[in-house]
């Protein structure tokens, strides 16, 4: 299936992605997932706006990571630098290219192999930084490559590094109620 064909599907309220041309459907992830994703949007958007760094998106955005066959992914939270966003514009279709930061919040139905595949797709597509946020264990895994993830917990600092300069919170802040 192609990115264009996905928009011909009837609106059934489900969330779809493409992985190398294969249609993937995920169930609604649940309340905890939504709370943690919302906290991350709030933290990231506030920082990005204050520093005029770029734009923060929710899972509705979608990113074209590869074509022929098409890979279309919708991270739970994402960030695109001001420079890249300005160059592409405020498009109504999925963003043509990767996010600079992709955040996947693990939901109860996620298998570790599925999350690993998403991280691989983001990195292969050019995403500079990927965070996998696990509400159950309250840990965040930071990827710059698949081979050297860093696991953060509790008082460890989650940083935006060169993607979101100056952004830093403790892991515990992400999961606060």
**pLDDT reported for residue 51:** 97
Percent composition of the chain: helix, strand, coil (DSSP 3-state, to 5): 30, 30, 40
pLDDT in tens, 65-82: 999 999 999 999 999 999
* Whole-number Å distance between alpha carbons of 107 and 175: 14
Question: Could you tell me if residue 164 is inside a domain?
Answer: yes
Question: Could you tell me if residue 1 is inside a domain?
Answer: no
Q: Model's pTM, two decimal places?
A: 0.92
Q: How many domains is the chain built from? A: 1
pLDDT in tens, 91-103: 999 999 999 999 9
Question: Could you tell me if residue 140 is inside a domain?
Answer: yes
Question: Could you tell me if residue 163 is inside a domain?
Answer: yes
CATH number for the domain harbouring residue 39: 3.90.1570.10
What is the span of the domain harbouring residue 125? 30-60+73-175
């Amino acid at each position: 299936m192609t990115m264009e064909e996905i928009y011909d599907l009837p609106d059934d309220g489900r969330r779809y992605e493409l992985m190398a041309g294969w249609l993937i459907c995920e169930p609604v992830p649940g309340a905890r997932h939504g709370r943690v994703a919302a906290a991350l949007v709030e933290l990231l958007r506030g920082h990005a706006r204050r520093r005029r760094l770029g734009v923060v998106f929710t899972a509705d955005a979608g990113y074209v990571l590869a074509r022929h066959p098409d890979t279309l992914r919708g991270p739970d939270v994402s960030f695109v630098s001001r420079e890249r966003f300005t160059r592409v514009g405020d498009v109504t279709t999925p963003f043509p290219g990767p996010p600079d930061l992709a955040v996947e919040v693990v939901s109860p139905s996620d298998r570790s192999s599925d999350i690993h595949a998403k991280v691989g797709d983001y990195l292969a597509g050019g995403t500079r930084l990927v965070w996998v946020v696990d509400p159950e264990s309250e840990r965040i895994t930071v990827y710059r490559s698949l081979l050297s993830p860093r696991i953060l917990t509790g008082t460890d600092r989650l940083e935006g590094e060169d993607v979101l300069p100056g952004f830093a919170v403790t892991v515990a802040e992400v999961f606060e109620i």
